[in-house]
Amino acid sequence: MRHSFKSKLEVAGIYMVVLFMVVIIAYPLLWAFSISLNPGSSLFSAKLIPDNWSLANYEYLFKDPRSDYVLWYKNTLIIAFINAAASVALVSIVAYVFSRFQFVGRKNGILLFLVLQIFPVLMGMVAIYLLLNLVHLFDTFAGLILIYVIGGLPMNVFLVKGYMDTLPRDLDESAKIDGASSLTIFFRILMPLASPIMAVVGLFTFMAPFMDFLTPRIILRTPEKFTLALGLYNLVNDKFANSFTIFAAGTFLIAIPIATVFLFLQRYLISGLAEGGSKG
């Protein structure tokens, strides 16, 4: 009886913690949505859903000729997809090499990746600015994507390498006995097993351009190339005297592609875990 009561108490405690976290996360989102429905420019509302709610802020973002929101959205999606694809491809190959091969400088390379995680990309922004000018990539999507991919490389490689180290090496040896090459082992065996961690890398690298403001602020100069964060800041700050209701509407819509990619990758995450359990 005591054991049953203790188990129910533990379950109730877990549900309370989960409910608390849901409230903490959902409450600010609901208020942001409430602000976006406010037809005025005030950040404050007596009710969660205003009495005179309106979709005028959303209509302005998509229909008003003075707004380039659709263009900023397209720019950010292009950068996000290319960044995610390039990061997953590069990180998986580098992590595979460090995880499965022995070569001169391997330990120093791993240590270098570990040390580089300590320093943010912005610390080298002056050098990056000069380098991008030198190779004529300043004020371009390619330059911005290059910073995202290379800047996230140390942490992502260290993360994926640690995951690949846990995968049984017996699978590699069995495949080699059957005549499989290193590339075949990489694509046919390790990548399916490593799909959960690669899904994490893909999601985080996809989210980066939506969340980042400082890097596009430094690299991009042409208004037609602005990302959402940079475009919304200039829209609110320069043209509309701090009309944060428009800003709230624009930022609330950012969650749509991120949530969509998360749901899409979640399926691969679960299938990857299932494959890993059956093949291990």
**What would the pLDDT profile of 104-125 be if each residue is shown by its tens digit?**
888 888 888 888 777 777 777 7
Under the phi-then-psi rule, with left for phi > 0, alpha for psi from -120 to 50, and beta for the rest, what region is 137? alpha
CA distances from 56 to 30, 39, 237, 249 (A): 18, 6, 19, 10
276: pLDDT strictly greater than 50:
no
Question: Using one digit for the tens of pLDDT, what is the confidence trace for 151-163?
Answer: 888 889 988 888 8
In whole angstroms, what is the distance from residue 235 CA to residue 251 CA? 12
Confidence (pLDDT) at 274: 46
Confidence (pLDDT) at 104: 86
State pTM to two decimals: 0.83
As a CATH number, domain 65-279 is 1.10.3720.10
Alpha-helical segments (H) within 37-68: 56-63
Q: What is the mean pLDDT of the chain?
A: 82
